[in-house]
C-alpha cells in the first residue's frame, strides 16, 4: 500500500477514539492544553504575518502620499496575534500533552480565532482603491475564513480594484491555510512525541512521510515551498514569451493560491484573461496541489513507479477523463459547437472543481446549464486526495465506498463459503480492517452530506428565486472549499446566508468531527458550570 493512505492497523484505534471523544467532555487540564496550543499557533502567525509588510512598503501603500495606509492594519493584526498568543502560551506552558479530544477542539476553535484576527486587514483597509469602500465585520470575516480554509468564495466584486496589500493578504492566508496552520506550528515549534501526532490528526491529516511527525510536517512544507517557487518561475517565464501571460505579481499570487488549491485571484476574471500556456501551467499546479504530499515525496525521491501506482492518483486521472468528456458533451450546444473553446473551458473547469481550487477560465459560468453545474458540484463534493491541500470528501473515501459497494454485491451473489480477498491498491486487507476503513469513510461522508443538505435547504429558502442547481453549486463550493460561484455569493448577500456558508467552509476544512467535539465540549462546560 502506498504511503499516502492511513496505516491500516491504526484505523480501528483512531475510529474508536473519534467515537469516544464525541461522547466526552473536556477536563480542566484539557482546556489548559487547548489554550496553550492555540497560543503557540497565534505566536507563529504573528511572526509570519509581519512578512506581508513588504507589500505595502514596496507599493507605497502607506503615508500621506497614499490613498490608504495598509501598514497600520497589518501591524495591528500581527500585534493582536501576539497579545493573545503570548499570554496563552506562557501561562499554560506546562499543560499536559495534547490528546485526541483536546487536539480536535484546538483545531476547530483555532481556525475560528485565526479567521477572526485575520479579518482585521479586510475591515481596516479599503477593498476598493477607487471608492475607498470598507467591508463590514461579517463580510470581512467571510473573506478571511474563505482564505484560511482555502475556499476562495469572495465578497469582492472586482479583484482588480483591491489594494496590492489586500491582494497579497488574500493569497498569503490561502497559501498558509492550504497546508494548515497547525502543520505550520508543528514544523517550527514541535518536538517528537504523541502530542504532536494528535495535533496533526486534529487538523484532519494522518499521512506520514517519515516515522517522526515533526520530520513529516517539515518535509510537507519543503515540498510545498519547492512547488510554489517552480510555479512562480513557470508562470512568469510563460508571461515573458507570450502577450497574454502573467506579470511577476500575477505569477506570485496565482502560483501561491494554485498550489494551495485556494483559487483567490488578483484579477476580476480569474484565469480567463490568460492564454492557453498559462492555463495549462495552472492546471498542473491545481493537480499537483490536490495530490497527497506523501506521494509527492515518492516522486521527489525518484520512486516514479510508486508515485504512479497510488490509488488516489489513479482515481483522480479516471475521474478527470470521464468528467471532462462528459462536460464537453453537455456543453456542446452552449459553446455553439466551438470544439476548441469547449475542450479548453470544460477541461479547466472540471479540474478546478475536482481539485477544489476554484479558478475560473470563463466569465459566464453561472450561465452554464443545470446539468453542467450539477456535474461540477459532484466533482466538488468528491474533492482531491487525502493528505493534500484539496477539500471535499476526499478521493480515498470515495474509493473505499465504491469498493465497499462492490465487495457487498459480490458477497450477496456468491456462495456462503466463498473467500473474498479485500484489496486496496497493492495491499491486501483483512475483513476487519476493510470494514473499519469503510465504516470510517461512511460515517464522515454521511455527516458531510447531511450538513451539506441542511445548507442547501437554508440557502434555497433565503434565495427562492435561485434555481436549485445554483444553490447546490454554491453550497457544494463552500463546503468543498472550492470557491467557484453561481453568482449567489456577494457582499450584498443576506447575513444569514453568509453565516451558513461560513459554517459550510469551516466544517469542510476540518471534516466535521473536530467541530462536533468542540460543540459537545462547550455544552459540557456549560453543564459543569451550572
Which sequence spans correspond to the domains of the chain? 8-382
- Higher-confidence position of 326 and 410: 326
Contacts of 53 (CB under 8 A, 6+ apart): 71, 74, 75
Q: What is the structure's pLDDT at 529?
A: 42
Q: What is the structure's pLDDT at 475?
A: 97
Segments in 1-99 forming alpha helices (H): 8-22, 28-50, 54-58, 71-91
Cα of first residue to Cα of last residue in the chain, in angstroms, is 50
SS3 429: strand
Of the listed ranges 60-64, 136-140, 365-369, the one predicted with least confidence: 60-64
Mean pLDDT, to the nearest integer, of 438-465?
92
Mean of per-residue pLDDT scores for the chain: 86
Mean pLDDT, to the nearest integer, of 86-106?
86
Of the listed ranges 414-423, 499-508, 510-519, the one predicted with least confidence: 414-423
Taking Cα atoms as reference points, which of 292, 330, 289, 336 lies closest to residue 310? 292
Residues 327-350 pLDDT 10s: 999 999 988 888 999 999 999 999
Of the listed ranges 113-127, 215-229, 494-508, the one predicted with least confidence: 215-229
Q: In the chain, what's the furthest Cα-to-Cα distance?
A: 84
Report the distance separating Cα 42 and Cα 177, nearest Å: 13
Q: Quick check: 281 pLDDT over 50? A: yes
Three cell numbers at 86? 503570548
Q: What is the structure's pLDDT at 133?
A: 92
- Higher-confidence position of 211 and 330: 330
Mean pLDDT, to the nearest integer, of 64-92?
93
Q: What is the structure's pLDDT at 4?
A: 40
Segments in 60-99 forming alpha helices (H): 71-91
Q: What is the structure's pLDDT at 313?
A: 93
* DSSP-assigned states of every residue in 218-255: HHHHHHHHHHHHHHHHHHHHHHHT-TTS--HHHHHHHH
Q: Quick check: 357 pLDDT over 80? A: yes
Mean pLDDT, to the nearest integer, of 173-189?
74
Residue 93 CA, distance from chain mean position: 30
Q: What is the structure's pLDDT at 11?
A: 43
Taking Cα atoms as reference points, which of 315, 305, 308, 309 lies closest to residue 427? 309
> What is the pLDDT confidence band of residue 188, given thresholds at 50, 70 and 90?
low
Mean pLDDT, to the nearest integer, of 292-321?
90
Q: Quick check: 494 pLDDT over 90? A: yes
Mean pLDDT, to the nearest integer, of 14-34?
60
Q: Quick check: 26 pLDDT over 90? A: no
Of the listed ranges 217-221, 302-306, 415-419, 452-456, the one predicted with least confidence: 415-419
Asked if residue 254 lies in contact with residue 265, where contact means CB atoms within 8 angstroms, the answer is yes
Q: What is the structure's pLDDT at 190?
A: 54
Report the distance separating Cα 370 and Cα 396, nearest Å: 28
Q: What is the structure's pLDDT at 102?
A: 81
Backbone angles phi, psi at 465, to 5 degrees: -85, -15
Report the distance separating Cα 369 and Cα 376, nearest Å: 11
Q: What is the structure's pLDDT at 196?
A: 52
pTM (2 d.p.): 0.89
Q: What is the structure's pLDDT at 528?
A: 46
Amino acid at each position: 500500500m502506498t504511503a499516502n493512505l492511513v496505516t491500516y492497523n491504526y484505523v480501528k484505534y483512531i475510529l474508536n477514539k473519534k467515537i469516544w471523544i464525541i461522547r466526552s467532555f473536556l477536563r480542566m487540564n484539557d482546556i489548559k492544553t487547548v489554550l496553550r496550543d492555540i497560543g503557540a499557533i497565534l505566536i507563529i502567525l504573528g511572526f509570519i504575518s509581519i512578512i506581508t509588510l513588504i507589500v505595502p512598503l514596496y507599493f507605497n501603500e502607506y503615508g500621506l502620499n497614499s490613498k490608504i495606509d495598509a501598514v497600520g492594519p497589518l501591524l495591528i493584526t500581527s500585534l493582536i496575534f501576539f497579545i493573545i498568543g503570548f499570554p496563552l502560551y506562557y501561562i499554560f506552558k506546562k499543560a499536559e500533552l495534547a490528546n485526541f479530544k483536546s487536539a480536535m477542539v484546538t483545531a476547530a476553535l483555532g481556525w475560528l480565532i485565526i479567521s477572526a484576527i485575520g479579518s482585521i486587514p479586510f475591515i481596516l483597509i479599503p477593498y476598493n482603491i477607487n471608492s475607498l469602500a470598507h467591508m463590514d465585520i461579517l463580510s470581512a470575516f467571510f473573506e478571511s475564513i474563505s482564505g484560511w480554509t482555502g475556499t476562495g468564495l469572495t465578497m469582492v466584486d472586482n479583484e482588480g480594484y483591491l489594494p496590492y496589500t489586500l491582494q497579497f493578504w488574500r493569497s498569503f492566508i490561502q497559501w498558509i491555510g492550504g497546508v494548515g496552520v497547525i502543520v505550520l506550528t508543528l514544523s517550527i515549534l514541535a518536538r517528537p512525541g504523541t502530542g504532536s501526532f494528535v495535533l496533526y490528526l486534529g487538523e484532519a491529516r494522518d499521512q506520514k512521510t517519515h516515522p517522526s511527525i515533526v520530520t513529516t510536517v517539515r518535509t510537507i512544507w519543503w515540498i510545498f515551498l519547492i512547488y510554489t517557487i517552480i510555479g512562480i518561475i513557470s508562470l512568469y517565464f510563460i508571461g515573458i514569451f507570450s502577450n497574454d501571460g502573467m506579470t511577476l505579481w500575477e505569477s506570485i499570487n496565482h502560483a501561491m493560491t494554485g498550489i494551495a488549491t485556494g483559487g483567490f485571484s488578483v484579477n476580476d476574471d480569474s484565469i480567463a484573461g490568460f492564454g492557453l500556456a498559462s492555463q495549462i501551467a495552472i492546471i498542473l499546479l491545481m493537480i499537483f496541489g490536490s495530490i497527497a504530499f506523501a506521494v509527492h515525496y515518492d516522486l521527489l525521491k525518484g520512486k516514479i513507479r510508486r508515485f504512479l501506482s497510488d490509488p488516489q492518483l489513479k482515481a483522480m486521472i479516471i475521474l478527470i477523463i470521464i468528467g471532462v468528456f462528459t462536460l464537453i458533451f453537455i456543453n456542446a450546444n452552449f459553446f455553439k459547437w466551438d470544439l476548441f473553446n469547449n475542450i479548453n473551458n470544460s477541461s479547466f473547469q472540471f479540474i478546478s472543481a475536482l481539485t477544489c481550487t476554484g479558478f475560473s477560465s470563463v466569465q459566464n459560468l453561472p450561465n452554464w446549464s443545470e446539468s453542467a453545474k450539477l456535474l461540477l458540484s459532484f466533482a466538488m463534493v468528491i474533492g482531491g486526495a487525502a493528505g493534500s491541500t484539496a477539500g471535499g470528501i476526499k478521493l480515498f473515501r470515495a474509493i473505499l465506498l465504491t469498493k465497499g459497494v462492490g465487495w457487498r454485491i459480490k458477497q450477496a451473489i456468491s456462495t456462503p463459503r466463498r473467500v473474498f480477498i479485500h484489496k486496496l491498491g497493492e495491499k491486501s486487507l483483512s475483513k476487519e480492517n476493510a470494514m473499519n476503513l469503510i465504516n470510517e469513510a461512511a460515517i464522515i461522508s454521511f455527516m458531510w452530506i447531511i450538513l451539506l443538505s441542511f445548507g442547501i435547504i437554508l440557502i434555497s429558502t433565503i434565495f427562492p428565486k435561485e434555481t436549485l442547481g445554483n444553490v447546490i453549486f454554491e453550497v457544494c463550493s463552500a463546503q468543498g472549499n472550492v470557491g467557484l460561484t453561481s453568482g449567489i455569493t456577494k457582499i450584498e448577500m443576506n447575513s444569514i446566508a453568509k453565516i451558513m456558508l461560513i459554517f459550510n467552509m469551516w466544517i469542510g476544512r476540518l471534516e466535521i468531527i473536530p467541530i462536533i467535539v468542540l460543540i459537545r465540549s462547550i455544552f459540557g462546560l456549560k453543564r459543569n458550570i451550572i
